[in-house]
Amino acid sequence: MFVGTRGRGSNLRAIHDACSRGEVPGRVALVVGTRQDSGAIEWAREAGLPIVVVEPGEGYGPRLLDALKQASVDWICLAGYLRLLPAEVLQAFPNRVLNIHPALLPKHGGKGMYGMHVHEAVLAAGEDESGCTVHYVTEHYDEGAPILQMRCPVFPGDTPESLAARVLVLEHQAYPEALRRVLH
């Protein structure tokens, strides 16, 4: 399993911990980042996980594929990965790439909908619930089939930050649970 991220790595940590406890039948075979200085990469280094940093640019797809093959990766989990995966990577892992989105797709997804933008949109729309969605990844942002969703209330007086914190707790349960469902 590979976790592609440039975020703080809290979902990576939740997945790794669930694997270590035997709750997910897999292991994090490689952590792939787009930059050395992300929180996720720093945490992975401290945890002793195999890491590779593949910077986007010329030959990004083939370089990524090469790293994934060398680590014998068979599933890809994205968390906080803000770009579209190169087509050759999607083709090499058909229906084996997952992402987590911090809202109830198909609402509040798509290009530019990441981080606090998502929670701001949920509040601006006056939703009374939000949550997270683990879904298969396609060549379009946030459009693949959902694997599971978890829900939480939106409270009057919520800020994007308070809502994000509530959703993040769910994310850490949802990603391992989605992996349990697909890895059998």
Site residues (vs ligand GRF, CB under 6 A): 5, 7-12, 40, 79-80, 100-102, 168, 171
DSSP state, residue 21: T
Token pair, residue 91, equals 């083709």
Residue 87 corresponds to which amino acid? A
- The CB-of-138 to ligand GRF minimum distance in angstroms stands at 16
For ligand GRF, give the closer residue by CB, 29 or 184: 29
For ligand GRF, give the closer residue by CB, 65 or 99: 99
133 with 100: CB under 8 angstroms?
Answer: yes
160 with 120: CB under 8 angstroms?
Answer: yes
For ligand GRF, give the closer residue by CB, 39 or 62: 39
- Catalytic residue status for 101: yes
- The CB-of-137 to ligand GRF minimum distance in angstroms stands at 11
Catalytic one of 16, 101, 135, 172? 101
Neighbours of 134 (CB within 10 A): 26
Residue 72 corresponds to which amino acid? S
Residues known to be catalytic: 101
